Structure 1
């Protein structure tokens, strides 16, 4: 385990936020592995990168922007595998307006070293709370 590996796994959260907030869903492969499995209350279980991309495009609302913020990131390394978790706050807003919805989530991922770098290959997203204004 190197501190560089730990830093790279932790940075996947920031990269994920940017891809989601900028609606660059076709770039999710820079964060997720081809064999990704994601479980969440909203989507159930999605298997495979192409299915995740399709889900993101299908559920995108052009009028609603997001800002994802991760904190309390913990990364545990085990060779070419890692477990990573974080608390996430997501703000939903319209351009120039304050958020009309805010959600707190707990996210946990398993990451693996791939030829392209570290990628999440299994994830669980749990909703802790939502506030609608």
Structure 2
């Protein structure tokens, strides 16, 4: 493990939240590997293009989101890492609000371009339904 790997992985997790909130779906390759998978409340997909399409579908342009990703627990094993973290996400459309509390289980791989996520799994722990 390189001394700065934990800081780089925290930065990667922060970029994941910003990627979703700022709807930068065309920039998926700055966050994910080509063969990345996602298992979330929005569905299960494999491959970066399918992952970006799912994110775009579940985070529409007219719905503001804010992802609070906290308490990352990072384990690095060579060029692979796991990151467990808490996630609080707010969806705010013009007509309603929805809040989810989830647990993230992320896997990352060191690539020539730096750390990238190769797996995102999110488990819903609680939800405040639309109000």
Q: TM-score, normalised by structure 1?
A: 0.89
- Alignment of structure 1 residues 26-37 onto 2, 5 Å: 26-37=26-37
Q: What residue is the counterpart of 1:130 in the other structure? A: 127
- Alignment of structure 1 residues 54-93 onto 2, 5 Å: 54-93=53-92
Partner deviation per Cα, 1:46-74 (whole Å, 9 max, x = no partner) = 10001111222233423210000011111
**Of the candidates 100, 104, 113, which is equivalent to residue 101 of structure 2?**
104
Counterpart-to-counterpart distance in 1, 2:69 and 2:24: 18
Q: What residue is the counterpart of 2:42 in the other structure? A: 42
Query: Which runs of 5 or more structure 2 residues have no equivalent in the other structure?
Result: none
Query: Which runs of 5 or more structure 1 residues have no equivalent in the other structure?
Result: none
Contact persistence 2:42–2:58 (CA under 8 A): no
In the alignment of these two chains, the number of paired residues is 130
Contact persistence 1:108–1:124 (CA under 8 A): yes
Contact persistence 2:36–2:47 (CA under 8 A): yes
Partner deviation per Cα, 1:18-38 (whole Å, 9 max, x = no partner) = 110011111122111111011
Contact persistence 1:10–1:74 (CA under 8 A): no
Give the C-alpha shift of residue 42 in structure 1: 2.3
Please, what is the CA RMSD of the aligned residues? 1.7
Q: What residue is the counterpart of 2:17 in the other structure? A: 17
